[in-house]
Structure 1
Amino acid sequence: MNLNQLANNLNILCRSVGAFIRKEGETFERSSIEQKGFNDLVSYVDKEAEKKLVEGLRQLLPEAGFITEEGTDTTRGERLNWIIDPLDGTTNFIHGLPAYCVSVGLLDGDEVVAGTIFDPNRDECFWAYKGGGAFCNSSPIEVSDAPALKDSLIATGFPYHNFGLTPQYLQVLGAFMSRSHGVRRIGSAALDLAYVACGRFEGFFEYNLNAWDVAAGIVIVQEAGGKLSRFTEEGDYVFGREIVASNGNIHPEMQQTIGEFWKKPSA
């Protein structure tokens, strides 16, 4: 498997699907919104974008299976699986807020080995593959060299359902607000991870995430020199529902800050 060639073809596909999404956004009407669950929105644009991705990815790597947000294809591969979020930031999209992206990662066993995040509004394609470095369009990117949390801008996501952990989360948020340059919430975990990779953010944390929210961003952050973990420990951050990403320098401070207030929910 030639990851360099695969990544280039993946970028072309994601750009094409991103252009479709942006074009649909020009005439999108909220009457076409569907609700999968409380505050869990989807539209025909998400579904059509995913179909286009699955069709294209089948041609790129016929032996790979799929883990998809909208369930277009649920066939799992024995070793290789594409993890797809066709439109990360759906709520932004349906409200006309230009902060959304296409996000696709390739899982080899339990490791993400390639990923692309394409933002059609800024025409920025963040991509990486294992051992190949990380890029925005054709330019290499790397994480910020900020040495400490007090020198950092932090990103997060707000819960939109399952609000039982909100009191803990607000305490964590308050701590980061008082110990950093500030906290930002864009509304797209994939873009948050891409922005850590290119140094716009020094760190990002969020819970209640799915694999398709983070898969592509994981390999991009890793190849840009960053660090990833769960909130207060090492472990599975692809499927583990929570993630901390940073430039590496501030990672211990981020985990310590979260750990002061965050307690695991009882099983």
Structure 2
Amino acid sequence: MHAMLNIAVRAARTAGNIILKGFENRDELMTEMKGDNDYVTRIDKEAEQAIIRKIQQSYPTHSFLGEEGGIVEGDDDYQWVIDPLDGTTNFVRGIPHFAVSIALLHKGRLDQAVVFDPIRGELFTASKGSGAQLNGFRIRTSKARDLSNTVLATAFPFKAKQQTQQCLDSFQAIFMKCGDVRRAGSAALDMAYVAAGRYDGYWEKGINAWDIAAGELLVKESGGLVTDYDGGNNPMKTRSVVCGNPKVVQNLVKLINS
């Protein structure tokens, strides 16, 4: 395992332990609202701080972009992009589907990725050029040739409900062509499941960099394609993402823009 990936795994497991303890004692948590339908808890903040501390023990000069703490200045050649608890709403409501997401950008390019599901003990990892793994075993995207009989994943714009109609139009066009669609509440796990071939594809608009950074590398290293809604190659900046194997992505982008 790459040295930096190994540190990221340790950081993710540390955060996972904090999250599990918090999940067992949710009644004691104080839940705040960052915005409409957007929760944050003490556990989100503690988990992010634990991740940063663990990484800084080995790489004290690196910079960070976290969902809760924003930017931590440092060496811009190495930036860690962190979502300490992707799926906070699930966590707050007792739904056991959430994950820790950690990615490393080296000179602006994705280099290492970890998505850790502490409930199931599933560790998804990827290093640029070395493939993607689940608990140490190689994973690949599905081999679907078109959308028929596929199982896809998506999300709805709960923070920007004025975009609902556009989202529903795309959903209807895609749903009529595929087998079924899931909306599970964690972008990081959605993309990890695409990388593992559990889902055939995933699309979402209004997403943040920390939600999809690790997932993007996982999908790419498992043989998949990741684009934005226009088919471009920078979903973290455009805040829209489509992923799956190349044939699935081509079909999804076409329907989204129809």
TM-score of the pair, normalised by structure 2: 0.96
Q: Which residue of 2 aligns with 1:219?
A: 217
- Residue 170 of structure 1 deviates from its aligned partner by 0.3
For 2:90, what is the secondary structure of its paired residue?
A: helix
Q: Distance in 1 between matches of 2:74 and 2:202?
A: 29
1:91 aligns to 2:107 (yes or no): no
The ranges of structure 1 where at least 4 consecutive aligned residues each deviate by more than 4 angstroms after the TM superposition are none
Q: Which residue of 2 aligns with 1:206?
A: 204
1:8 aligns to 2:12 (yes or no): no
Q: Is the 8 A contact 2:148 2:177 kept in 1?
A: yes
Q: Is the 8 A contact 2:187 2:211 kept in 1?
A: yes
Partner amino acid, structure 2, of 1:144: S
Q: Which residue of 2 aligns with 1:182?
A: 180
- Residue 73 of structure 1 deviates from its aligned partner by 5.2
Q: Which residue of 2 aligns with 1:135?
A: 133
Q: Is the 8 A contact 2:228 2:242 kept in 1?
A: yes
CA offset digits 1:220-239 (Å, max 9, x no partner): 11100000101122142122
For 2:219, what is the secondary structure of its paired residue?
A: helix
Partner amino acid, structure 2, of 1:156: T
- Residue 109 of structure 1 deviates from its aligned partner by 2.2
Map 1:32-111; keep pairs closer than 5 Å.
Answer: 32-71=30-69, 74-111=72-109
Partner amino acid, structure 1, of 2:209: A
Partner amino acid, structure 1, of 2:62: A
Q: Distance in 2 between matches of 1:251 and 1:151?
A: 15
Q: Which residue of 1 aligns with 2:116?
A: 118
- Residue 161 of structure 1 deviates from its aligned partner by 1.5
CA offset digits 1:151-210 (Å, max 9, x no partner): 311100111111222111101111221110111001000000000000001110001111
Q: Is the 8 A contact 2:22 2:29 kept in 1?
A: no
For 2:54, what is the secondary structure of its paired residue?
A: helix
Q: Is the 8 A contact 2:29 2:41 kept in 1?
A: no
Query: In the alignment, which of 156, 160, 165 is matched to residue 167 of structure 1?
Result: 165
Q: Distance in 1 between matches of 2:160 and 2:71?
A: 27
Q: Which residue of 2 aligns with 1:230?
A: 228
Q: Distance in 1 between matches of 2:232 and 2:99?
A: 28
Partner amino acid, structure 1, of 2:211: D
Give the paired residue count: 258
Unaligned runs of 5+ in 2: none
TM-score of the pair, normalised by structure 1: 0.93
Unaligned runs of 5+ in 1: 261-267
Q: Distance in 2 between matches of 1:243 and 1:209?
A: 8
Q: Distance in 2 between matches of 1:239 and 1:77?
A: 20
- Percent identity among equivalent residues? 37
After superposition, the Cα gap between the structure-2 partners of 1:123 and 1:165, relative to the gap in structure 1 and judged at 3 Å, is same
- Residue 72 of structure 1 deviates from its aligned partner by 6.2
Partner amino acid, structure 2, of 1:128: A
Q: Distance in 2 between matches of 1:209 and 1:251?
A: 17
RMSD: 1.4
Q: Is the 8 A contact 1:64 1:81 kept in 2?
A: yes
- Residue 30 of structure 1 deviates from its aligned partner by 7.0
